Amino acid sequence: MTEKIWHLKNCRIFEQLSATEIERLDACSRVRRFAKRSPIYLPAERADTVLLLASGRVKICHLTPEGKQSILAFIEPGELFGELSILDGEARDEYAEAVEASMIVSIPKEAMHELMESRPGLSIGVTKLIGLRRRRIERRVKNLLFLSNRDRLAHLLLELAESYGKRTDDGVELEIRLSHQDLANIVGSTRETVTVVLGELQNDGLVKVGRRRIVLRSLQRLAQSVQAPEPRIPEPYVEAPQETDFRFGFGT
C-alpha cells in the first residue's frame, strides 16, 4: 500500500469507498509538500482541485480590503479543504497557508464528481462538510456584529476547547499553539485588545496564559459567562492492559 493510498483510506469521507475506487483516486491525485508558512493556494487561483491534508496543519484565511488577515478555519490531518471547487470551479475567494510543514494530496474535482454521482453517501458527506463550515463562519460573523471583544474571545476559546482541549490538573489545555495575533485574526480584533482581554480572564480565574499556551481553568464558568453550553472534551484513550503469559513474557 502506498503512502498516498493510506491517507486516502483514512479520510473519513472516503471510508465507504471500495479498494478499486481508492486506487482510481490514487492514480489521478498527486502529493505535494509545503514548508511552514508557505501558501498552498491564493485568492483568484483557479479552483480545480479538492485538497486532503495528509500531515501538518493548514489555516484558511481571508484578506480584508485593508490588507488584514482574518483566519476562517484550521485544517487538521485527514480533513478535506478547498471543497467549494466541487460546486462551481470558480476562482478561490480565500487563501490557504501551511501553519507547519505539511503534506497535501491534491484530487481533481472531476474525480470527485464521478465518485459523488455513484456514491450518494459521499455526496451527503461533502454537503455536511460544506454546511458545517458555513455555519461556523456565520456564527463568527454574528459574534463580530453583536458581541464584545471579551465575549467573542470566550466563545472562541470554548470552540477551540472542543477541538483541541486536553484535560490536565490545571484545567483544559488547548493543544493548538496560537499567538495573540492569531487569536485576534480569528475574532476580528487587535493583538493589543486580545492581550488585555486574556489578562482580564486570567485575573478572573477563568484562564491561565503562558507563551502560546492557554489553559481554561474553569470551563463551566467560562461557558456560563457568555451563556454558552459547556463544550465536550473527549477523554484520553487508555489502552486496555494485556494479559501476560509469564512462561514467555509475551502478551496473550
CA angle 11, 28, 24 (to 5 degrees): 65
Does this model's pTM top 0.85? no
86 exposed, middle or buried (CB, 10 Å; 0-12, 13-18, 19+)? buried
Q: 191-214, pLDDT tens digit by residue?
A: 999 999 999 999 999 999 988 889
Question: For residue 93, what is the domain's CATH number?
Answer: 2.60.120.10
By the 8 A CB rule, do 152 and 188 touch? yes
Range of the domain at 123: 3-143
**Are 113 and 176 within one domain?**
no
Shared-domain flag, residues 78 and 39: yes
pLDDT digits (tens, 9 = 90+) for 50-106: 999 999 999 999 988 877 889 999 999 999 999 988 877 678 889 999 999 999 999
Which tens digit of pLDDT belongs to each residue from 29-44? 999 999 999 999 999 8
Domain total of the chain = 2
- Mean predicted confidence (pLDDT) in 227-233: 90
Q: Mark whether 133 and 171 lie in a shared domain.
A: no
Domain boundary among 143, 167, 185: 143
233 pLDDT more than 50: yes
